[in-house]
Amino acid sequence: MKLTRRDLIRMSAGAGAIGLSGGWSSLLANQHALIMTTIPSTGQQVPSVGLGTVKFRGDPSSPEMAPLKETLKKFYGLGGRVVDTSPNYGNSEEVLGHLLDDLGIRKKVFMATKVDREDQAEGIKRMEGSFQRLGGKIDLMQVHNLRGTDMELETMQAWKDQGRFRYIGITTHRVRQHDEIERYMRKYPLDFIQVNYSMADQAAAERLLPLAQDKGIAVLVNRPFGRGDLFGAVKGVSLPDWAADIDAQSWGQVFLKYIISHPAATIPIPGTSKPHHAEDNMAAMAGRLPDTKLREEMSGFIDKLL
């Protein structure tokens, strides 16, 4: 019998609560198990909401690292594990390497980063640099914005075969690249894609998410709040009654629960550098998720506000 995404979520909610060295805070207080997402290519389960780190920049030894460190600590303590970065995000990799080491959790996170070089030798140098800056294993290496895709995937597949990465994938934040993304999904044995998807941006749901579900490819979701458009649309709007049906206590949780309830293996990676935002995001992994009917109602509600 083939398990559906919904079946896997139910199984995870019953048995997939992960052990943490830190506290579970409100998640434990409410006795909710974390909602996990199953990576189709291996069956590995990871917490269903990750962390984007485009704002993790600066001098690693400076006081300005304090809120970033606290954000990571809060994220991890409440069950977060998937961390996505890139050498294109300033010195984000270096900052993360230092902060994760300081917190003693470097080996415990699911680390995803990217490479974007047209030349094979430069791509290899770029990826070796990521290992050094991040100070440990890299679980997922991705071709950033489809730059040098065929050449980079050749190297990445070889390194995956050698055990240097467990997963490989491709990314874009441009709708105009969706045709290319689809072509590579059909051509290569990818483990992940990373695309925009939110209640304000449904383009990926047309072809890419169904194809990912069909081919067993997990999906990291960037811009899950539609670059802030969603928060602007609901400013001053009270949560509808149906928010209680999915145990959502904020609009951010509504937006994230909508994404992780998609039948594809979707993992939103909202970017934040503030501890209270991390805490709110992690709460989306607790409680109930919308079914197909409620998802349609949620979309209709938001569409009227956009």
Which tens digits make up the pLDDT trace of 241-263? 999 999 999 999 999 999 999 99
- Classified by CATH at the fold level, domain 5-305 comes out as TIM Barrel (3.20.20)
Q: How confident is the model at residue 35 (pLDDT cuts 50, 70, 90)?
A: very high
283 three-class SS: helix
Q: At 221, list the tokens.
A: 């979701």
Residue 28 confidence (pLDDT) above 70: no
Q: How confident is the model at residue 17 (pLDDT cuts 50, 70, 90)?
A: very low
Which tens digits make up the pLDDT trace of 206-222? 999 999 999 999 999 99
Report the predicted TM-score, pTM, of the whole model to 2 decimal places: 0.90
Which tens digits make up the pLDDT trace of 154-164? 999 999 999 99
How many Å is the maximal CA-CA distance in the chain? 56
pLDDT of residue 6: 38
Q: What is the mean pLDDT of the chain?
A: 91
Which tens digits make up the pLDDT trace of 86-113? 999 999 999 999 999 999 999 999 999 9
Residue 3 confidence (pLDDT) above 70: no
Average of pLDDT values for 25-54? 83
pLDDT of residue 32: 55
Buried b (16+ CB within 10 A) or exposed e, 71-103: bbbbbbbbbbbbbbbbbbbebbbbbbbbbbeeb
Which contiguous run of DSSP H or E holds residue 241?
none
Report strand pairing: 51-52 vs 82-84.
Answer: parallel
Percent of the chain scoring above 70 in pLDDT: 90
| C-alpha span between 57 and 91 (Å, rounded) | 5
Identity of the residue numbered 59: D
Residues 6 or more apart in contact with residue 268 via CB below 8 angstroms:
48, 49, 50, 220, 221, 224, 256, 259, 260
Distance separating the N- and C-terminal Cα atoms of the chain: 41
Residue 16 confidence (pLDDT) above 80: no
Q: How confident is the model at residue 287 (pLDDT cuts 50, 70, 90)?
A: very high
